Amino acid sequence: MRPVSRPVILTGDRTTGPLHLGHYIGSLKSRVELQHTHKQYVLLADTQALTDNADHPDKVRRNVLEVALDYLAVGIDPALSTICLQSALPALAELTMLYLNFVTVARLERNPTIKEEIQARGFGRDIPAGFLCYPAAQAADITAFRATVVPVGEDQTPLIEQTNELVRRLNRQIGRSVLPEARAITPLIGRLPGVDGRAKMSKSQGNALPLSASDDEIAAAVQRMYTDPDHLRASDPGRVEGNVVFTYLDAFDPDREAVAELKAHYQKGGLGDMVLKQRLTIILQATVAPIRERRAALSRDVDTIMDILRTGVQRGREITEQTKDEIVAGLGLFSL
Amino acid sequence: MRPVSRPVILTGDRTTGPLHLGHYIGSLKSRVELQHTHKQYVLLADTQALTDNADHPDKVRRNVLEVALDYLAVGIDPALSTICLQSALPALAELTMLYLNFVTVARLERNPTIKEEIQARGFGRDIPAGFLCYPAAQAADITAFRATVVPVGEDQTPLIEQTNELVRRLNRQIGRSVLPEARAITPLIGRLPGVDGRAKMSKSQGNALPLSASDDEIAAAVQRMYTDPDHLRASDPGRVEGNVVFTYLDAFDPDREAVAELKAHYQKGGLGDMVLKQRLTIILQATVAPIRERRAALSRDVDTIMDILRTGVQRGREITEQTKDEIVAGLGLFSL
C-alpha cells in the first residue's frame, strides 16, 4: 500500500508584532486542527515584513521569536507542522527574482490587494519596490513548498489568483505541470473586530488582545466593549447585530446553543450586559490562560525555540531547493 | 609588512550571445590588463539576462558556456580573476530582495538607463517587473563583491549612481560604512561601431564580428566596410571622420604613428581604400586568430570550463555570503 500523500498547506505571518486573539480565531486555531490532516508549512515571514518596514528592521527581528512563541503556545506542533523562517530560505529569494521576469509592472499594479494596501499605507508613488513586488514573492513562497491549499482572508484572494497565473505561465512554458495551482481557503469565522468594535483587531490600533494578555487585561477589555448603545436597562430589548460582545461570543463560546438562547433572551429583553460580559470574560480567560502560560514557559527556553527554527529551516530548505532545481531544469536554465 | 589590498573590480556580461570585437575592444582587453593590478570578479550575468529573456531561457543557458569560453580565450586568467556564475550565488538574490525595500518604484522608473532601455526594447507598460528592478540587482552584485571600481559604458553611469545611493542609505541606517561606494570607469576607446558603420556592434543587428570569426569572415567584413563615399579614386583626397576603416584602425592598430601617417596621406589624396582595408584585415586577423584558436581548443574541454566555473562560484559564494551576513547583522535582522 502506498501512503496517501496529504495536501500541502502554506500559511504564516509577517513578523511585525506578537499575535493576538484576532489571529487566534482567524487562523491559528484552524492550523492546530489542519496539521493533523495536512502537510503544513508555517512561514515566519520576516522578508515580507521588511517590504514596508525597511526603517524598522529591529521590529521585524524581535518579532520572529515572538511569533514563533505564539505558534508553539497555541499548539502548532513542530512534529506535525514545519515552522520556517522565510529569510533563511534563499530559494525563495531566487524564485522571486525569477518570477519577477514573468510578470509585468502593470499587472502587479493592478493587483487589488496591492492597490488597497498602497492606499492604506499612504505610499502613493513612494511605494518601496519590494512592496510592489511582493505578489511575486508570495507566489514564490506558495510554489516553493508546492502548496495546494492557502488559508487567506477574503481580501487576499487576488494574491492567490496572481500566483496561479504565474503557475500556469511557467507550466505552459515548461510544457508540463511542474507546479501545482493553489486554492485559497477563507476562514469560517470572519475577521474579528477590535475590542473597541472597529473592523479589525490590530496591535497598531491599540484594540487588540495579545495571546499573552493577563486575566485582568482581558476583563478590562471586555468591560469596555460596546454592546447595544440603546440597551440602557436590563429589562429593555437589545440588539444582537453589531453587538461586539455577541460577535466575540459567536467566535469563542463553544456552546452554540447557549449563545443562541442568550441572543433570544437579549432581544426579548431582561438580559443585562453584565451577564454577557462576565460569560465572555470567563471564556476568553479560559482560552488565553493556557496559551499565556505555555508562552511564558517557552520564552524562558530560547534554545529550544532556536532548535525548532533550525530544524524547520532544514526541512524547508530541502523542499524549496528541490522545487527551485525542478523549475531551473524545466525552463532549461544553466546549472553547475 | 601587511600586503596592500588591491582595489576590487566587478565586471561581467549578460549571457545572451557570444562576445564580439566590440566587447573585446570595449572591455575584455582591459580586463586582461586589470587582473594584474586589481582583484577582479567577472560575472556571467545569466540572472540579469533573464530580465528581458523570460521567453528564451535556452538562449541564456547556452551562452553561459559561450561567454565563459570567450573570457578564457581572450586571456582572462582564472588564477588572477574570479569568473562567477550569477545564478549560482543565492546571496545576490537575497540582497536584491532586501535592497528593493530601500528604493521606491518611482526612483527605479526615473533611472535614465532603465528609461532608455525600456524604450529601446519597446516594453511600454508591459515591462517585466524583473527588468524594472535590475538596478537594485546590479547594486546587489556590486556591493556583494565589495567592488569599488566598475567599468561601464557612458550610458550605464546612472546605474552606479543608484548603487551608491543605496550604499549611502544602508550605511546611514546601519550607522557605519559597511559598504563601500563604487566608482564607474568608462573605457578609453569609445563604443566600436558595427562593421556596417552603425553606431553599435551587436549580434542581433548582424553587424558584429564574433571572437570565433574565421580569417575569411574577417576579410569579407572589412571588404564591405564603408570608407568615404566621395573617395572614388585613390588619387582623391579622402575623409577620415566617420570612416569606419579608420575607426577600426584607431581601435586595433598598435602602431599609432603609422595610423597618423595613413590619415594624413588619405586626407591629402593618393591613398586607396584597398591599402587601408588590407592593413585592417591583417590586424584584425592577427587579433582574432589566437583567440579563435584558444577558444576552439577550450571548447573541446567542457569539463575544465565547468571546473573553472565551480571554483569561481565557490570563491564568489564566500565573499557574497560574508557581505550579506554583515548587512543582516548591521541592520539588526534575525539570523539563526
CATH of the domain at A76: 3.40.50.620
Residue A336 lies in a domain: no
Question: In three state form, how does the secondary structure of B170-218 look?
Answer: HHHHHCCCCCCCCEEECCCCCCCCCCCCCCCCCHHHCCCCECCCCHHHH
Mutation site for B-interface testing, chosen from A14, A97, A107, A311 by largest number of B Cβ within 10 Å: A97
- The pLDDT value given to residue A199: 81
Instruction: Give Cα separations from B325 to A5, A81, B152, B333, B335 (angstroms).
Output: 37, 28, 28, 10, 9
Q: Measured between CA atoms, how close is B166 to chain A, in angstroms?
A: 12
- The pLDDT value given to residue A332: 97
Contact predicate B28/B71, CB 8 Å: yes
Distance separating alpha carbons of residues A191 and A226, to the nearest angstrom: 17
**Chain centre to alpha carbon of residue A136:** 18
Distance separating alpha carbons of residues B156 and B184, to the nearest angstrom: 9
CB contacts, 8 Å: B125 with chain A: 104-106
Residue B25 lies in a domain: yes
Q: What is the mean pLDDT of chain A?
A: 94
B127–A105 C-beta distance less than 8 A: yes
Residue ranges making up the domain that contains A149: 8-192+302-331
Residue B247 lies in a domain: yes
Task: Give per-residue pLDDT as tens, A236-246.
Answer: 999 999 999 99
Task: Give per-residue pLDDT as tens, A110-125.
Answer: 988 888 888 887 777 6
One domain for residues B185 and B276: no
- The pLDDT value given to residue A1: 52
Band of the pLDDT at A3, cuts 50, 70, 90?
A: low
CB contacts, 8 Å: B102 with chain A: 54, 128
Residues in contact with B198: Cβ distance below 8 Å, sequence separation at least 6, in sequence order: B205, B207
CATH number at residue A243: 1.10.240.10
B334–A313 C-beta distance less than 8 A: no
Mutation site for A-interface testing, chosen from B55, B101, B178 by largest number of A Cβ within 10 Å: B101
Nearest to A127 among B98, B105, B137 (CB): B105
Distance separating alpha carbons of residues A34 and A24, to the nearest angstrom: 14
Residue ranges in chain B modelled with pLDDT below 50: none
- The pLDDT value given to residue B205: 85
- Residue A150 φ then ψ, to 5°: -130, 110
Nearest to A93 among B15, B97, B335 (CB): B97
Using alpha carbons only, what angle is made at residue A93 by residues A87 and A96, rounded to the nearest 5 degrees?
Answer: 135
Lowest-confidence pick of A211-220, A318-327, B153-162, B214-223: B153-162
Number of A/B CB contacts below 8 angstroms equals: 157
- The pLDDT value given to residue B119: 82
CB contacts, 8 Å: B316 with chain A: none
One domain for residues A167 and A243: no
Q: Name the DSSP letter for residue A128.
A: B
Distance separating alpha carbons of residues B53 and B47, to the nearest angstrom: 10
Q: How many CA atoms lie within 13 A of A145 on its CB side?
A: 32
Residue B319 lies in a domain: yes
Residue A332: closest C-alpha in chain B: B58
One domain for residues B165 and B49: yes
Residues in contact with A304: Cβ distance below 8 Å, sequence separation at least 6, in sequence order: A298
Nearest to B108 by CA among A18, A314, A108: A108
Element (DSSP H or E) covering residue A136: helix A134-144
- The pLDDT value given to residue B137: 98
One domain for residues A73 and A41: yes
One domain for residues A133 and A260: no
Task: Give per-residue pLDDT as tens, A125-144.
Answer: 689 999 999 999 999 999 99
CB contacts, 8 Å: B336 with chain A: 85, 88, 306, 309-310, 313
One domain for residues B75 and B181: yes
One domain for residues A123 and A270: no
Task: Give per-residue pLDDT as tens, A77-94.
Answer: 999 999 999 999 999 999
Q: Which three cell numbers stand for residue B94?
A: 537575497
B136–A133 C-beta distance less than 8 A: no
Q: Measured between CA atoms, how close is A151 to chain B, in angstroms?
A: 25
- The pLDDT value given to residue B122: 78
One domain for residues A188 and A99: yes
One domain for residues B124 and B173: yes
One domain for residues A127 and A228: no
Nearest to A108 among B50, B104, B129 (CB): B129
- Residue B20 φ then ψ, to 5°: -135, -175
Residue B200 lies in a domain: no
Contact predicate A270/A242, CB 8 Å: no
Cβ-in-10-Å burial (0-12, 13-18, 19+) of B199 comes to: exposed
Number of domains in chain B: 2
CB contacts, 8 Å: B91 with chain A: 90
Nearest to A61 among B52, B101, B333 (CB): B333
- The pLDDT value given to residue A114: 85
Nearest to A197 by CA among A176, A218, A225, A178: A225
Residue A203 lies in a domain: no
Residue A173 lies in a domain: yes
Residue A310 lies in a domain: yes
- The pLDDT value given to residue B117: 81
One domain for residues B165 and B235: no
- The pLDDT value given to residue A41: 98
CB contacts, 8 Å: A52 with chain B: 101
One domain for residues B43 and B132: yes
**Chain centre to alpha carbon of residue A273:** 32
